[in-house]
Structure 1
Amino acid sequence: MSNSLPKAARRGLAEESADRIRDAIFAGHFPPGAPLREVELAASLEVSRGSVREGLALLEREGLVRSAWHRGTTVVEVTAEDVEEVYTVRAALDRLAATTALRRATADELAALDRLVDAMADELADGGDGPRLLALDIAFHEAVYAAAGNRRLTRAWHAVRSQVRLFQLRRIALGHAHYRARVVAEHRELVALLRAGDAEALARVAEEHVDSARRGLLAHLSRVDG
């Protein structure tokens, strides 16, 4: 535990503690279902237990951790029910973000999306590390939401973003091939449709992009549970 987390840069800062714990969860130091003990985290981060407690509360609001009476705080499990709920919400948000961005995205913003897809292709050519591909994937969708320019929509995305990333990391851990085979082509298609101005096709493809991820993760989970 002592070497798994970098030291918090500033003592007593709940946001800093939340950032470090979140990073550790995404790095796999705390897998789904793992306990998050305040005393151990405070010692590792060299912050107060109060800062850790507040940081965990922030992560609970993101849906990344769960607290229960007499059971403490744990990283959320990745269950089929949770997957259905999160990806259903994400599909609706991504559809709205894409169709809104279609009307508002600038040439520079579209070029930035192209560069992110190119970076995905380069990563695949170098071997295709799953977490790095996913970081580019998340950055791509962040850029689409930014291009849409709707602050409330972006806040709604941020409310599920950490869960999406955790669930996608679980998908990659259970089976990388499905993700590698689709990630570049699906994102290139989204950029092409943003340029083409076909709102109906873009909405359909944006939803299918999310549904493909949902189906892939559920298939992996069913094999593990079976």
Structure 2
Amino acid sequence: MAEQRKVAPARRRGLADEVADRIREAVFSGAYAPGSQLREVELAEALGVSRGPVREALLRLEREGLVRSEWHRGATVTTLSPQDVSELDSLRGALEQLAVQQVVAHASDDDLAAIEKAARRMERADDEHEMVRCDIEFHDAVYAAAGHQRLEEAWQAIRSQVHLFLLTRIGVSSDGYLSTIPGEHRDLVTALRTRDAKTTLDLFAEHRRHAFEVLNQRT
């Protein structure tokens, strides 16, 4: 008798991964706003693939928190509720506190230079969606500089939802957004370079509070 298989044969998931990347990018670029329907048939036709990879991609994006599925509506881009906003803000704050502490205590000059480089890219952002992308990449650099693998993994687990959080923020109001965000991040870099944990943590908290307050303006 043949030996019983302990694991199932592997399946190639490259196509579903690519489809997920394309849909995610469409959300982040503003092509699909929160609440937009994501119809399998339309997506499959637009991407030139069968519905199978689209279905797998949507499930993956649902696990990221970027998509929600309901039996009577199908898949839609997640619309953040007030509770979602509050939970994301508090969780992001908890993770960011540890990240900042780690950076202040352990980051190398090269690490800080990478964070500063990410901040400078904001000065070249052409629109609000590109600025949000640069904002997320700045925080990517902070978590990378923290040198804490599990902390970075925790950030990656909520990264798409934080991106959606910031997209929702500019959807509520983008007044002054392009002009103020680069300066805020330059201040964050300057604070990190001082290695003064309290001052730096206060500035990061203030930076998060701005977005949270804008979102709380929603009726």
Structure 1 residues 152-185: Cα deviation after superposition (integer angstroms, max 9, x where no partner) = 1111111111111122122223322243353123
Q: Shift of the alpha carbon at 1:33? A: 1.0
The answer (yes or no) to whether the contact 2:103–2:142 under 8 Å persists in 1 is: yes
Distance (whole Å) between structure 2 residues aligned to residue 61 and residue 167 of structure 1 = 16
Q: Which moved more, 1:202-211 or 1:29-38?
A: 202-211
Superposition RMSD in Å: 2.0
Distance (whole Å) between structure 1 residues aligned to residue 13 and residue 80 of structure 2 = 32
Cross-structure match for 1:211 = 209
Residue correspondence of structure 1 range 5-154 to structure 2 within 5 A? 13-123=15-125, 129-154=127-152
Cross-structure match for 2:5 = none
Letter in 1 for 2:42: E
TM-score by length of 1: 0.84
Distance (whole Å) between structure 1 residues aligned to residue 101 and residue 162 of structure 2 = 20
Q: Which moved more, 1:76-85 or 1:48-57?
A: 76-85
2:186 paired residue among 181, 185, 188:
188
Q: Shift of the alpha carbon at 1:18? A: 0.4
Distance (whole Å) between structure 2 residues aligned to residue 121 and residue 29 of structure 1 = 23
Q: Shift of the alpha carbon at 1:11? A: 9.4
Q: Shift of the alpha carbon at 1:108? A: 1.6
TM-score by length of 2: 0.87
Identity %: 49
Distance (whole Å) between structure 2 residues aligned to residue 97 and residue 72 of structure 1 = 37
Cross-structure match for 1:202 = 200
Cross-structure match for 1:5 = none
Equivalent residue of 2:69, what SS? Answer: strand
The answer (yes or no) to whether the contact 1:109–1:147 under 8 Å persists in 2 is: yes
Structure 2 unpaired stretches of 5+: 1-11
Letter in 2 for 1:144: V
Distance (whole Å) between structure 2 residues aligned to residue 73 and residue 118 of structure 1 = 37
Deviant stretches of 4+, over 4 Å: none
The answer (yes or no) to whether the contact 2:172–2:214 under 8 Å persists in 1 is: no
Equivalent residue of 1:61, what SS? Answer: helix
Q: Shift of the alpha carbon at 1:12? A: 6.5
Distance (whole Å) between structure 2 residues aligned to residue 68 and residue 146 of structure 1 = 36
Cross-structure match for 1:7 = none
Cross-structure match for 1:3 = none
Letter in 1 for 2:147: G
Equivalent residue of 2:76, what SS? Answer: strand
Structure with higher Rg: it is 2
Distance (whole Å) between structure 2 residues aligned to residue 179 and residue 13 of structure 1 = 36
Q: Which moved more, 1:138-147 or 1:184-193?
A: 184-193
Letter in 2 for 1:134: V
Q: Shift of the alpha carbon at 1:195? A: 1.3
Q: Shift of the alpha carbon at 1:122? A: 4.3
Q: Shift of the alpha carbon at 1:204? A: 2.4
